[in-house]
A and B are shown apart, each in its own frame.
Chain A
Amino acid sequence: MTVLARLDEAKAARQQKPLITFNGATLRLGGKTIIENLDLEVRPGEFLCIVGASGCGKTTALRLAAGLYRPTGGAVTFDGQPMLEPRREVAIVFQDYGKALLPWRTAAGNISLALEACGIPVRERPDRIAELLRKVGLPAHAEKYPAEMSGGMQQRLQIARCLAQEPTTLLMDEPFGALDAMTRQGLQDEVLSLTAASNTTVVFVTHDLDEAIYLGDRVIGLLPHPGRIGIELDVNLPRPRDQLATREHPEFLRLRRQLFDFIKATEH
């Protein structure tokens, strides 16, 4: 058997058993249909990006995957089981880090919150906290309060807190939307290396099309009113990605063009 065939087989096997499945998922809130009949499969280890115009339901789709909403029709399953409540192996990174962190706890204290919830013994916590802070590049800021940190640092801290629950899946809701371009690029690469190292499955919602292509193995574009899938693109760009080379790659530019045309068409 050739290596290529074996790879294909492995890929096929993975495709047979998706980690997260939306099966005709529908969500109505207050008489409005936010998401209708959404069919979507997220494979283990995959980096999936969801884009779409504002109000297309991409955040809602993520909240369904997190178990923060229950579908009013159809089903959302995780590892074959209905996702009715949040689970510890699924962590969610919110866009508004300023609201998601506890302002009265230091950086170390915020990470500790997740360790406490996971029942990690007190003795083991300091080492774990130090390790997590090092992972996200904040080793010198353990005793700082969130208000003393920049936006980028606060978002790193939230990511560290999510990693503390040792998730197999990371759901990220426009995590870098409020950050400046330089900070954003740095964090993109860090998230890529962190999740690649642990083979974490990622669902990443963004309104930045370049970011979606840069990060993703696959990009899905949602159509609004009600939210449903409008386009699906496989991103066959070499990894590890590089901020300059990847973004200049002809394939990147082709995908970018395709995605922009799609979004433009939905905005009427």
Chain B
Amino acid sequence: MIWRIASFAVAAGFVGLWQLIANLKLISPVFLPGPDRAWAALMRGFATGDLTSKLVGTLEHMAYGWLAASVAGIALGALIGSSRLMRIYIAPSLEFLRPLPVSAIIPVAIAMLGLTQGMALFVIAFGAIWPIMLATIHGFAAVEPRLYEVARALQMSRPAIVFKIALPSALPDILAGMRLSLTVALILSVVCEVLAGLDGLGHWVLLSARAFRSADLFAGVILLGATGYVTSIAMSLAERRLLAWQSTR
């Protein structure tokens, strides 16, 4: 508890320092608004609904891309992870694709799909799939072999083995991968919005900066930070709930 209070105190200290720097005009107010002005811009943005629609746009990009990456990543990871042969055959291709910077993929995606929502979805999903898929492969490969024997002795069907043995056993790994991907999805949402001019906070931030509306710019940045923070907390809560059995170890 005392640590939580301390962490809030540190955060408040940073905000205070920011206000001090802004008040002393160490940096021109054209570029650096104080927290008071940023907060006012944030409230104004919500009041007019401008910022709300941008926030919804970013959340949509992030959610769709992340969900697509999760579904595809878990399915592919399960397929590859549950077969040693698949791992041997597919691993080299994965090792080639994985380290590719997503920024290098974006021009390719734009060339093929245009400046569209589909392009954004593809880029976000492509970037976010790796942590999930690799974690799922690891999780499926690490299932206790004894449990497969138990399943054989019970003559369980193949789908039953996947859903009752392999998937729950790999769940801690999968959730850890999904948590990493959440951050990747947010970053790529912003990048796609900036590059393709799609409706969202990335676009808002870019336009505000170009128009020297520094308060609006900071409002957008604060909102992006808050989005990352809140989704991460939601993910933690989901993990704690789904992995309740682990806390008993």
Contact = CB atoms under 8 A, between A and B. Distances in A.
B147 A86 contact: no
B149 A68 contact: yes
Given A68-B149, A147-B245, A147-B249, A104 B155 contact: no
Given A87-B155, A88-B154, A102-B147, A116 B245 contact: no
Interface residues of B, number: 21
Contacts of B144: 99
A114 to B, nearest CB: 6
Contacts of A102: 147, 164-165, 168-169
A116 B155 CA distance: 11
Interface residues of A, number: 26
A251 interface: no
Nearest to A90: B153
B210 interface: no
A165 interface: yes
A92 interface: yes
B164 A116 contact: yes
Contacts of A92: 149, 153
B171 interface: yes
Interface string B137-180: 00000001011011111111000100011001101000000000
Contact of A94 (B146, B169, B249): B146
Of the listed residues A94, A104, A118, the one surrounded by the most CB atoms of chain B closer than 10 A to its CB is: A104
Contacts of B151: 117
Contacts of B154: 86, 88, 113-114, 117-118, 165
Interface in B47-106: none
A106 to B, nearest CB: 8
Given A104-B169, A113-B164, A66 B153 contact: yes
16 contacts: A86-B152, A91-B153, A92-B149, A92-B153, A94-B150, A99-B146, A102-B165, A102-B168, A103-B245, A104-B169, A104-B171, A113-B164, A117-B155, A145-B248, A147-B248, A147-B249
Given A68-B152, A102-B169, A147-B245, 5 more contacts: A68-B149, A86-B153, A100-B146, A100-B150, A147-B248
Interface of A: 66, 68, 85-88, 90-92, 94, 96, 99-100, 102-105, 113-114, 116-118, 145, 147-148, 165
